[in-house]
């Protein structure tokens, strides 16, 4: 099997010849290609080159195309900082008064240079690898998370706790949904095999499970449905301990999930094990970036042992790898997965 076949087999709930591996590695990939983050995000060619070189260097089964967590917000006009050697970050918010949401102008994502570079890079990578490697095109943030950028996370939490603002909360979510639909459609048309989004402010670390169901769930499901209309696989990522909402996440219809290391792996296996694919859970910082190879092997083995009865697993970190992640640690995770024999 090649990488594409290996991941598609796991996605379909069948056993591949070995565990597929993907890295959430845009920061280490840029560093290994000799680029700062500013250089990396400056052109589609640079984004594509960094990922192609990393995928070939480590013989990865899949390519996880990511740039930062600010593209959706910046495309909507949220003030964004672009540090020289760190990912971009939104700051300051866009909508001072929630009641003014109706005054927000429609946004055409195809006019955003940041979006266009990201989408073009996905197309270049897919064209380069064809059906040799599986390409996951991340589409940045889901509506709930995007709304938190439009309002700033702190103000957004206050909005949600203010009953008289509920009408405007949903209007903002609907506005953000339109942007997320556009971004997803562009990435799907670029040829990605899988699309994915993050929705970390929607996790239990920030809001209650009841609020997740009320304000985030239906919007996640809407994007999952759209992606499936395009004939693509779909994945959702939420940071933190998501144990309290795993059952709800399953109902979004997503085909796979990135789950944070803070969530109990046994609970994940009970809920997801035979139904949807788990991609990740290994701690990207304390284990992969700062840990020893021995610790990386131990944590990778723990995940593999829990999932030994299920083919629905892609070996990956639970979130983005820091730029200083040692090559030896990435290779140790990959080697451990490929040599695993329960």
96: exposed, middle or buried (Cβ count in 10 Å: 0-12, 13-18, 19+): exposed
The reported pLDDT for the residue numbered 341 is 85
H or E element that contains 22: none
The reported pLDDT for the residue numbered 129 is 98
The reported pLDDT for the residue numbered 280 is 83
How would DSSP label each residue in 200-247?
A: GGGSTTTS-HHHIIIIIHHHHHHHHHHHHHTT-EEEEEE-S--GGGHH
> At 91, is the pLDDT very low, low, confident or very high (cuts 50, 70, 90)?
confident
Q: Is the pLDDT of residue 336 over 80?
A: yes
Asked whether 63 and 50 are in contact (CB, 8 A), the reply is: no
- For 80, the 3-state DSSP assignment is strand
- Region 87-106: mean pLDDT is 94
What's the topology of domain 3-339? TIM Barrel (3.20.20)
Asked whether 10 and 311 are in contact (CB, 8 A), the reply is: yes
Q: Which residue has the tokens 């040599």?
A: 339
Q: Is the pLDDT of residue 73 over 90?
A: yes
- Region 286-308: mean pLDDT is 98
Average pLDDT of the chain? Answer: 97
Q: Is the pLDDT of residue 342 over 90?
A: no
- For 106, the 3-state DSSP assignment is coil
Give the phi and the psi of residue 204 in degrees, each rounded to 5: -60, -15
Q: Which residue, 21, 36, 38, is CA-closest to 136?
A: 21
Residues β-bridged to residue 233? 194
- Between the alpha carbon of residue 215 and those of residues 117, 167, 201, 211, 321, the distances in Å are 31, 12, 11, 6, 29
- Region 67-76: mean pLDDT is 95
- Region 52-70: mean pLDDT is 97
**pTM for the full predicted model:** 0.96
CA 110 to mean position of chain CA atoms: 21
The reported pLDDT for the residue numbered 329 is 98
The reported pLDDT for the residue numbered 92 is 85
User: Could you give the angle at the alpha carbon of 86 between the alpha carbons of 257 and 135, nearest 5°?
Assistant: 35
> At 201, is the pLDDT very low, low, confident or very high (cuts 50, 70, 90)?
very high
How would DSSP label each residue in 242-298?
A: -GGGHHHHHTTT-SEEEE-TTS-HHHHHHHHTTTSEEE--B-IIIIIITS-HHHHHH
- Rounded Cα distance between 330 and 300, Å, is 11
The reported pLDDT for the residue numbered 198 is 97
142: Cβ contacts below 8 Å, ≥ 6 apart: 180, 197, 198, 199, 202, 216, 219, 220, 223, 236
The reported pLDDT for the residue numbered 59 is 97
Quote the DSSP letter at residue 329: H
Q: Which residue, 208, 212, 64, is CA-closest to 145?
A: 212
The reported pLDDT for the residue numbered 126 is 98
pLDDT per residue over 158-199, tens digit each? 999 999 999 999 999 999 999 999 999 999 999 999 999 999
């Amino acid at each position: 099997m090649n990488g594409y076949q290996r991941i598609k087999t796991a996605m379909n709930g069948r056993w591949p010849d070995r565990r597929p591996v993907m890295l959430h590695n845009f920061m280490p990939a840029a560093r290994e290609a000799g680029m700062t983050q500013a250089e990396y995000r400056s052109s589609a060619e640079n984004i594509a080159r960094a990922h192609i070189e990393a995928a070939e260097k480590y013989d990865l089964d899949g390519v996880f195309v990511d740039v930062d967590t600010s593209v959706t917000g910046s495309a909507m006009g949220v003030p964004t900082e672009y540090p020289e050697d760190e990912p971009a970050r939104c700051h300051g918010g866009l909508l001072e008064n929630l009641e003014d949401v109706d005054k927000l102008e429609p946004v055409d994502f195809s006019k955003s240079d940041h979006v266009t570079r990201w989408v073009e890079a996905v197309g270049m990578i897919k064209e380069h690898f064809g059906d040799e490697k599986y390409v996951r095109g991340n589409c940045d943030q889901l509506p709930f998370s995007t709304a938190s950028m439009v309002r700033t996370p702190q103000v957004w939490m206050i909005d949600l706790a203010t009953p008289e603002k509920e009408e405007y909360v949903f209007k903002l979510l609907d506005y953000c949904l339109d942007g997320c639909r556009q971004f997803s459609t562009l990435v799907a048309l670029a040829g990605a095999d899988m699309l994915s989004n993050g929705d970390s402010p929607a996790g239990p670390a920030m809001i209650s499970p009841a609020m997740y169901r009320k304000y985030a769930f239906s919007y996640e499901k809407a994007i999952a449905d759209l992606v499936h209309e395009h004939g693509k696989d779909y994945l959702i990522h939420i940071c933190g301990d998501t144990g309290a909402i795993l059952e709800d996440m399953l109902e979004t219809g997503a085909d796979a999930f990135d789950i944070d290391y803070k969530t109990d792996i046994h609970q994940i296996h009970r809920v997801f094990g035979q139904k949807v694919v788990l991609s990740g859970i290994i701690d990207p910082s304390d284990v992969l970036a700062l840990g020893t190879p021995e610790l990386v092997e131990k944590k990778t083995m723990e995940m593999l042992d829990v999932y030994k009865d299920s083919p629905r697993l892609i070996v990956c970190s639970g979130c983005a790898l820091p730029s200083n992640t040692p090559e030896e640690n990435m290779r140790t995770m990959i080697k451990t997965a490929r040599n695993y024999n329960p």
